[in-house]
Structures are given as structure tokens and as C-alpha cells.
């Protein structure tokens, strides 16, 4: 008989067997249910369909972290350790594996569970010795059968996605319920009521941690706890039990608690008020636990694994919202106190290393500024002026005929600055001289005739004319305005006044001597009290920004002047002699800059803050009754 005939015979032998399969197994496989029930039914079905199966095992998990665990064994009491080894080999190689049992010669088959390219486990079974074609038929049957497991994985994924969507929908509804309310109390009450309705619980409580214990702030379907103090105490103790251990606690009547967690308060709450199950989930906002949610259900099935996951997801989402609502409902002083306590706890508690280092550096800087002293200097606008300012005035009424200097010009001793029109004086002088000659002729004639009386009169008239000529000569000399010393013209521009009339005594020029200056400071009224005669300072003027000019305060004018909305006092100083000798040629009256007067040693923190504190003192005093 050929290989194909043997394969056909094997398939014919299996057909009646398939037809006689237990319909209950097919129903379990078709209807699904829990993974263990589904895999047990599937493994039983596979062993019966393949025929000659002696034992089998189905394992689920990841080969990467070696988490493969048996889910179903056929028959139930069969040894499967050697089959588990070949199953793990199939998951590693991601393909079917065939090998023989060295003792009995039976064939051992294994095939991985693949879904979307991921390995989810493997199945391995041992069949009685048979021909190679029959073994290949068995391997093919096993491969086809794994499609049911792929269907199971897809269904579990769909169920998980639907459950996640349902949890997200409920979480969004609870968020909406919280946000629709105004105030913290209304928000937590709405959340508790909505959560109780969604999960079918008898009571949902929300607690908020005050000090070291949780205090109930909301009960489902109730705005106040009222006289039920014993209930509030029991629920609060259950909340403290969960928050102290930092974990979700579920206590079901008649069942031992999972893990090594303490659930004494949950058991007492269940005993006193007759619930079938109690669940408490802490509310965590960041690294802090701010409260807890406790659910009591008369039907333990209401608080299954999916319900626990839902409440944990809701707690994670609602904690920041409720924290914000609680903070906004507090009085301003309480908000400030809580914020201060939180910041202080972060500073003296564990963690927040960067903040502690920053605060330490800030404290070191503040201590440096508070203890370090340096020179305190009063700063003010400054200007150079000449020590002497000479005014050149018009010597008589006349007209300007010539201009030879303007402001800013440096003039030397005897240099002509301007001239007045002297033609009238010259004419008057000529007339006076002609008149004198006439009187001289008359005097000679009277002398020849011996007329003594006429001689005295004519002599007096000639002296009078001589005096007038002398005056005219003096006026002619003074008609030329000349510099009395080497100086700079500070004021007086006659270039646009040639031919203009001037009056006697009218100031035409102001001049200041060269290399003989004083510094004029405009000191603010808040600083003038610190300035005194004899203090030294430095001046930096705009034309010489690279040169510090030292000076000494010589005078403080006790009269203020309004300048740009501020009162300023005039403080005068004299330049150091060496500065006049070295830089006098480069300095000119009218140059402006900034002057600083050293008034003593002060702490650096005072230098930077005294203005603000002084203003604050005046402002506060002005507001006092």
C-alpha cells in the first residue's frame, strides 16, 4: 500500500470518530467562555480527532521571558514535563517540531500558537507509533487545529478592547459628572452616585485625607453623612487601611484575601453592614495619596476583575480633577498654608534634589549679599563749568560792526572778539579837536590883549574839550571787545547780529578761563543727605569715556531745583590738580557726563534694595490714618 493510500485509510478511520465526538465539547468550543475551559475543550477535541493520542499539553505565555505555563493537560493526570520541553522548542523555532520518544518509540508533536506574527504559546502531544505518512497527517491536523487558538487570541483582544472602551466611556461620564458640578462637594457626590449606578453597588464612598486619616466627603445618593458616625468611622478605617499600604484592596465574603495585604478593617466593614464584597482604591495625585474610593456591593460578582480595573482607571483620571476642585474651594489663607506646607515638605523630605540644590545656592547668594560690604556711591548727572565766568558787555550804545568769535572758540589774551561801529565817535572826536583849536586861537588873542577874564573862561573850556576827547578815545578803545585772559567762549553769538543796535551794559559774550573748572552734580533729594563736603568722587564725561576724572566735593547748595519731575540739589566739586595739568587741554566747560560720589561702606543687599524699602515706608505711612 502506498503513502497516499495509507493517508486516505487514516482519514477514513478518523471520520467515524469525528462523527461520534461529544457534542458538549463542541458546544464549549463554540460558545467560548474562559480561556481554560476553551483550551481544555479544544485539546480534548484535537486528541480525539487525531486518534492514537496518548497525552497532550497546551501552554500559554511568551518564550522571550520563559513564562510558558500549562493551561490544559489531557488526560488530566498525565505527565507533561517532556512534552513541555518540545513545546518550548516549537515556540523558540516558531514552527512545528517532531521527535520520537526513545523509550517507547511514540511520536511527539508540537506546534506554536501564532497570531499576527506573535507567539502566544504551543501545544504538544504524544501519539502511538505509526507510519511517517500518518504522522504527517497528525501534524497537519494539529496545525489546522491551532487556528482555533488564533481565534481565541483575537477574541480576547477584541474583548479587552471593548472592555477598555467601556471603561474609558464610564471614565469620561464620571469626568463629565464631576465637571458639571460647581464646587468640590457637589463634584465628589456626583461621582460617587454615578459610580454606584454604573457598577450596581449598594454604596460608594469617597474620602479625603486630612492629616493622617481619611475623612469621608461624599456618599452615593446622599449629600451628607448625618448621624451615621459609626458607618463613617468604619469606612474611614477601610480607606486608611488601603492608603497606608498604598494598594487596591478587595475583600470578598468567604474568600481569603489575595496576597499578604492586611484587610481587617474591610472584613469588619463587611461584617457590620452586610455587604458581600468591599473594594477600596486609593486616589493618587502624582506622588501623593490624597484620598480613596470605597465600594460596597451586595453581589460579589459586581466587583470582579474588570470592575476593579475600571475603578482604578477612574481613580487615576479623577484624582487630579478633584484635587484642583478641592484647592479652588479653599479660602485664600488655607491655599497659601497648604502650598507652603507642600513646598516645605518637598524641601525637607526625600527627593527634589534639584530644588534643594537651587535653594541652597540661593541661600548662599543671599548670605553673601547680606554680609558683603562695598563702597556705596551716589550717582548723579554731572557737568563741567568754569570756576570764573567773565561777561563782556557793550561799553556804550551803538551798533555791532564786526564779529570774530563764537561760543566754543578758544581765545587768547588780547584777542578781539567783536567790534562796535565807531564812526560817530570819530566824527565827534574830530569836531571836538576843531573846537579846541578854535578855543586855543581865542585864548592866544586874549592873552595878547591882556584880557584876564577871557583867559580863565577859555582855559576852562579847553580843559572841558580835552576831557571830552579823552572820553571819546576811551570809547574808541573799548569799541573793540578783547579777551582779558586765555579762555573759551561760553555764550554770545553775534554772527546774526551785525549792524544790530546794542545798549550800554548789554551782555555780548561770556567767557571762562581754560584749565580752571568745577564739577556740578544734580543730586536727587533722596541721596543728598548722604553727600557731604570733602567726599571724593569720580566723573566720566561723554567725550572722554575711557577716562575717570577724580574730584572732591566743595559745596552743597541747600536749594532744590525741579528737573524732569524730580527735585535735585546742586553739588559742586573741584577737579584734582593733576587732572587739570594732564587733561585740562581736552576739557571744556559745558561737557556733560555721570558723576559718582563715594559716601561710605554699605552692605551690598542694602545698596540694591534701600530705594524700594524707603519708597515702601513712605507709601505705607501715607496710607495710615
Taking residues 185-213, what's their average pLDDT?
88
Phi, psi of 603 (to 5 degrees): -70, 145
Of residues 551 and 369, which shows the higher confidence score? Answer: 551
Contacts of 256 (CB under 8 A, 6+ apart): none
Question: Rounded distance, CA 572 to CA 551, Å?
Answer: 10
- Sheet arrangement for strand 213-219: 213-219, 203-210, 288-297, 277-285, 249-252
According to CATH, where is 2.40.50.100 located in the chain?
Answer: 390-510
Kind plus residue range of the DSSP H or E element containing 437: helix 423-449
DSSP 136-154: HHHHHHHHHHHHHHHHHHH
- The architecture of the domain spanning 3-159 is 2-Layer Sandwich (3.30)
Q: How far is CA 464 from the centre of its chain?
A: 96
Q: Do the Cβ atoms of 495 and 406 come closer than 8 Å?
A: yes
Question: Rounded distance, CA 6 to CA 28, Å?
Answer: 33
Question: Rounded distance, CA 546 to CA 194, Å?
Answer: 78
Taking residues 138-149, what's their average pLDDT?
84
- The architecture of the domain spanning 181-329 is 2-Layer Sandwich (3.30)
Position 7 scores a pLDDT of 42
Q: In 10 A of CB 233, how many CB atoms?
A: 13
Angle at 24 between CA 23 and CA 28, to 5 degrees: 120
Position 280 scores a pLDDT of 93
Block residue for cell numbers 563702597? 375
**Which residue intervals of 281-372 are DSSP H helices?**
305-329, 332-348, 353-371
Q: Tens of pLDDT along 386-409?
A: 777 778 788 878 888 888 788 777
Q: Tens of pLDDT along 585-599?
A: 567 777 889 999 999
Tell the CATH topology of 390-510.
OB fold (Dihydrolipoamide Acetyltransferase, E2P) (2.40.50)
pLDDT interval class at 385 (50, 70, 90): confident
According to CATH, where is 3.30.450.40 located in the chain?
Answer: 3-159, 181-329
Average pLDDT over the chain reads 82
Q: Do the Cβ atoms of 590 and 357 come closer than 8 Å?
A: no
Q: Do the Cβ atoms of 115 and 154 come closer than 8 Å?
A: yes
Which pTM does this prediction carry? 0.46
Residue 310: Cβ-neighbour burial (10 angstroms; 0-12, 13-18, 19+): buried
Q: Do the Cβ atoms of 421 and 507 come closer than 8 Å?
A: no
Question: Rounded distance, CA 30 to CA 151, Å?
Answer: 11
Contacts of 46 (CB under 8 A, 6+ apart): 53, 56, 123, 125, 141, 142, 145
User: What are the grid coordinates assigned to 319, written together?
Assistant: 484624582
User: What are the grid coordinates assigned to 517, written together?
Assistant: 573748572
- Greatest mean pLDDT range, 71-75, 142-146, 209-213, 570-574: 570-574
Whether the predicted pLDDT of 369 surpasses 60: yes
Position 279 scores a pLDDT of 92
Q: Do the Cβ atoms of 488 and 343 come closer than 8 Å?
A: no
Measured between alpha carbons, how far apart are the two ends of the chain, in Å? 123
Of residues 377, 407, 381, the one with CA closest to residue 592:
381
pLDDT interval class at 480 (50, 70, 90): confident
pLDDT interval class at 225 (50, 70, 90): low
Of residues 170, 210, 172, 203, the one with CA closest to residue 189:
203
Of residues 260 and 622, which shows the higher confidence score? Answer: 622
Residue 563: Cβ-neighbour burial (10 angstroms; 0-12, 13-18, 19+): exposed
Per DSSP (E only), the strands in 75-151 are: 97-100, 107-115, 118-127
Contacts of 463 (CB under 8 A, 6+ apart): none
Angle at 7 between CA 4 and CA 11, to 5 degrees: 140
- Sheet arrangement for strand 480-482: 480-482, 416-420, 398-403, 501-502
Whether the predicted pLDDT of 13 surpasses 70: no
Instruction: From the options 2.60.40.10, 3.40.47.10, 2.40.30.170, 3.30.70.1350, give the CATH code of 516-623.
Output: 2.40.30.170
pLDDT interval class at 77 (50, 70, 90): confident
Q: Tens of pLDDT along 21-51?
A: 456 666 666 665 678 888 888 888 888 888 7
According to CATH, where is 2.40.30.170 located in the chain?
Answer: 516-623
Question: Rounded distance, CA 316 to CA 72, Å?
Answer: 36
Question: Rounded distance, CA 41 to CA 455, Å?
Answer: 171
Q: Tens of pLDDT along 259-272?
A: 778 889 988 888 88
Phi, psi of 147 (to 5 degrees): -60, -30
Q: Do the Cβ atoms of 52 and 13 come closer than 8 Å?
A: no
Amino acid at each position: 500500500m502506498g503513502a497516499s493510500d495509507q493517508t486516505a485509510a487514516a482519514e477514513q478511520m478518523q471520520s467515524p470518530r469525528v462523527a461520534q465526538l461529544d457534542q458538549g465539547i463542541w458546544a464549549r468550543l463554540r460558545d467560548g467562555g474562559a480561556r481554560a475551559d476553551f483550551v481544555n475543550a479544544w485539546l480534548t477535541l484535537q486528541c480525539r480527532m487525531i486518534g492514537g493520542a496518548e497525552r497532550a499539553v497546551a501552554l500559554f505565555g511568551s518564550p522571550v521571558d520563559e513564562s510558558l505555563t500549562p493551561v490544559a493537560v489531557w488526560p488530566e493526570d498525565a505527565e507533561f514535563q517532556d512534552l513541555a520541553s518540545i513545546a518550548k522548542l516549537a515556540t523558540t523555532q516558531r514552527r512545528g517540531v517532531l521527535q520520537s520518544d526513545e523509550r517507547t518509540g511514540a511520536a511527539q508533536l508540537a506546534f506554536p500558537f501564532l497570531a499576527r506574527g506573535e507567539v502566544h504559546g504551543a501545544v504538544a502531544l504524544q501519539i502511538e507509533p505509526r507510519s511517517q505518512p500518518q504522522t504527517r497527517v497528525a501534524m497537519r491536523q494539529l496545525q489546522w487545529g491551532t487556528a482555533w487558538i488564533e481565534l481565541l487570541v483575537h477574541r480576547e483582544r477584541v474583548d479587552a478592547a471593548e472592555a477598555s472602551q467601556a471603561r474609558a466611556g464610564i471614565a469620561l461620564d464620571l469626568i463629565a459628572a464631576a465637571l458639571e458640578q460647581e464646587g468640590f462637594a457637589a463634584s465628589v457626590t456626583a461621582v460617587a452616585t454615578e459610580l454606584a449606578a454604573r457598577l450596581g453597588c449598594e454604596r460608594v464612598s469617597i474620602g479625603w485625607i486630612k492629616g493622617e486619616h481619611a475623612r469621608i466627603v461624599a456618599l452615593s445618593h446622599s449629600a451628607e453623612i448625618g448621624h451615621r458616625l459609626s458607618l463613617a468611622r468604619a469606612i474611614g478605617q477601610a480607606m486608611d487601611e488601603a492608603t497606608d499600604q498604598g494598594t487596591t484592596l478587595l475583600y470578598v465574603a468567604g474568600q481569603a484575601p489575595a496576597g499578604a495585604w492586611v484587610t481587617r478593617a474591610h472584613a469588619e466593614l463587611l461584617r457590620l453592614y452586610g455587604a458581600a464584597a468591599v473594594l477600596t482604591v486609593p486616589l493618587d495625585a502624582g506622588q501623593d495619596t490624597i484620598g480613596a474610593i470605597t465600594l460596597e456591593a451586595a453581589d460579589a460578582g459586581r466587583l470582579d476583575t474588570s470592575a476593579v480595573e475600571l475603578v482604578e482607571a477612574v481613580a487615576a483620571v479623577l484624582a487630579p480633577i478633584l484635587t484642583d476642585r478641592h484647592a479652588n474651594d479653599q479660602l485664600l489663607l488655607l491655599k497659601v498654608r497648604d502650598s507652603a506646607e507642600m513646598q516645605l515638605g518637598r524641601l525637607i523630605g526625600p527627593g527634589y534634589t534639584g530644588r534643594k540644590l537651587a535653594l541652597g545656592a540661593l541661600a548662599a547668594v543671599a548670605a553673601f549679599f547680606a554680609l558683603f560690604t562695598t563702597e556705596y556711591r551716589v550717582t548723579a548727572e554731572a557737568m563741567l563749568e568754569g570756576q570764573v565766568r567773565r561777561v563782556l558787555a557793550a561799553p556804550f550804545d551803538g551798533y555791532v560792526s564786526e564779529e570774530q568769535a563764537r561760543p566754543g572758540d578758544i581765545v587768547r589774551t588780547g584777542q578781539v572778539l567783536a567790534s562796535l561801529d565807531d564812526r560817530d565817535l570819530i566824527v565827534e572826536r574830530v569836531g571836538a579837536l576843531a573846537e579846541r583849536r578854535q578855543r586855543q586861537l581865542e585864548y592866544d588873542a586874549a592873552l595878547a590883549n591882556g584880557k584876564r577874564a577871557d583867559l580863565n573862561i577859555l582855559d576852562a573850556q579847553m580843559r572841558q574839550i580835552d576831557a571830552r576827547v579823552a572820553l571819546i578815545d576811551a570809547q574808541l578803545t573799548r569799541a573793540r571787545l578783547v579777551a582779558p585772559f586765555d579762555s573759551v567762549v561760553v555764550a554770545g553769538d553775534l554772527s546774526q547780529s551785525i549792524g544790530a543796535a546794542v545798549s550800554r551794559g548789554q551782555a555780548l559774550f561770556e567767557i571762562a578761563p581754560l584749565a580752571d573748572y568745577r564739577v556740578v552734580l544734580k543730586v536727587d533729594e533722596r541721596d543728598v543727605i548722604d553727600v557731604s563736603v570733602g567726599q571724593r568722587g569720580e566723573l566720566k564725561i561723554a567725550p572722554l569715556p575711557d577716562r575717570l576724572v577724580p574730584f572732591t566735593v566743595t559745596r552743597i547748595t541747600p536749594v532744590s531745583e525741579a528737573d524732569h519731575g524730580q527735585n535735585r540739589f546742586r553739588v559742586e566739586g573741584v577737579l584734582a590738580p593733576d587732572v587739570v595739568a594732564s587733561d585740562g587741554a581736552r576739557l571744556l566747560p559745558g561737557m556733560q557726563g555721570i558723576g559718582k560720589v563715594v559716601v561710605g561702606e554699605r552692605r551690598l543687599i542694602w545698596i540694591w534694595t534701600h530705594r524700594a524699602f524707603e519708597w515702601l515706608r513712605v507709601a505705607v505711612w501715607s496710607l495710615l490714618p
